[in-house]
Amino acid sequence: MPISGARVLIDLGHLRTNVATIAHRTGVPLLAVVKADAYGLGIEQVTDAIRDLVAGWCVFRLDEAITGRLYERTGKRTLALGPAEPQRVVHYQQHRVTPSVATVEAARALRIVEPALNVDLGMQRFACPPDQVEAVLSAGDCHEAFAHATRPEQAQQLKCMLGGRGLMLHAAGSSLLEYPEAWLGAVRPGLAMYVGCVRVTAPLIEVRDSAGPTGYSGFRGRRHGVILVGYSNGLRKGPCLINGTPSRILEVGMQSAYVDLSDISARPGDEVLLLGDTLWVPDIAREWQTSPQEVLVNLVRSGPREYVG
Ligand SMILES: *Cc1c(COP(=O)(O)O)cnc(C)c1O
């Protein structure tokens, strides 16, 4: 048997529960964000698991919807959140993908596929400045408008700007699900659907009493273990759990890492938990000083995926 690195377990039953809970709580159509291969969980498996619970999908690029065969497999449309590709009208049409437009030229070129207007309320990238909203709306004959909002006030701003005209409006990703005033006509969660669905472990392949300064950095401890997951697999220094006890990833190499066993009794073959159970992405994100989304996509890609549920 080959020596093993990270093992990534994805619980599709838990994913369904999360999505059903969000849909029930908000009571508005749910556009599931499955960009970047469903945050690394696997776009085909994820969309198969929740297709009956959602109104549609969001990806970043048109090609993600085509490669994932989203319409063909699920019968639901996709909104492409990133910059529009005005020359590809036929592809949008064939694969039931709604482009997001931010300029009059793009809106005019894509009018036949009913583009959605992407309103810039602060992100200042591939979206339409408020003073051009009317021109783009009429050039594209848009029936849908959205904003990438980070605060509930921005959702209200979108509603003030475009409400009461029969447009489908949406603004809320995961961080705004707590704010009913941000839900508008639909919600667009990514991360919140995937919370608690991923478990990443790696077995200890060595356990040693430390003999002086160890590794590249010369860290000091009484005992350490080694796992075959490194920075090339997306791992960084930070928390982990070993046999239920909190511990630390002390140093990370290209394809292996040291874990602290100074106060833990462990043997080769015991599992080091890198993500899951009581160790969830926000805890790790705080230590990595990055977003929970980045932690998730890094760790979910650290080894071969297996699915349950
Ligand atoms: C990625 C993305 C989302 C989902 O973000 P989460 O914070 O992961 O829920 C929603 N809207 C837009 C425009 C996005 O790009």
In this prediction, residues 275-302 reach a mean pLDDT of 96
The residue nearest atom 15 of ligand 1, judged by CA position, is 81
- Ligand 1 centroid–CA 100 distance in Å is 14
> How far is residue 260's CA from residue 208's CA, in Å, rounded to a whole number?
10
- Per-residue pLDDT, averaged over 256-267, amounts to 97
Per-residue pLDDT at 238:
97
DSSP character at residue 270: P
9 HSE (CA, 13 A, CB side)? 15
CA dihedral sign of residues 13, 16, 17, 18 = positive
Q: For residue 231, report the distance from its CA to the centre of ligand 1, in Å.
A: 26
Mean pLDDT of 140-147: 98
> How would residue 121 be classed by pLDDT, with cut points 50, 70 and 90?
very high
Angle at CA of residue 110, ends 107 and 111, nearest 5°? 75
Tokens representing residue 59 in the block: 């990806």
pLDDT tens for 180-195 read: 999 999 999 999 999 9
Distance CA 117, CA 70 (A): 22
Atom of ligand 1 nearest to the CA of 148: 13
Distance CA 262, CA 222 (A): 5
Strands 198-203 and 56-59: unpaired
Write the pLDDT tens digit of every residue in 241-255: 999 999 999 999 999
CA of 60 to the centre of ligand 1 (A): 9
Distance of alpha carbon 63 from the chain centroid: 17
The residues lining ligand 1, judged by C-beta closer than 6 Å to any ligand atom, are 33, 35, 81, 148, 173-175, 188-192, 293
The per-residue pLDDT of the chain, averaged, comes to 97
Q: Does residue 97 register a pLDDT over 80?
A: yes
pLDDT at 240: 98
Query: Would the pLDDT of 148 be above 60?
Result: yes
Q: Give the rounded percent of residues in the chain with a pLDDT score beyond 70.
A: 99
The CA 190 to ligand 1 mean position distance, Å, reads 6
Residue 125 is predicted with a pLDDT of 95
Query: What pTM was estimated for this model as a whole?
Result: 0.97
Q: How far apart are the CA of 18 and the centre of ligand 1, in A?
A: 16
As a whole number of angstroms, the distance between CA 272 and CA 183 comes to: 39
Pocket test for ligand 1, best of 26, 41, 58 (most atoms within 8 A of CB): 58
Average pLDDT score over residue span 207-215: 96
pLDDT in tens, 49-82: 999 999 999 999 999 999 999 999 999 999 999 9
3-state class (DSSP) for residue 301: coil
What's the average model confidence in pLDDT over 160-164? 97
pLDDT of residue 2: 59
State the maximum Cα–Cα separation within the chain, in Å, rounded to a whole number: 72
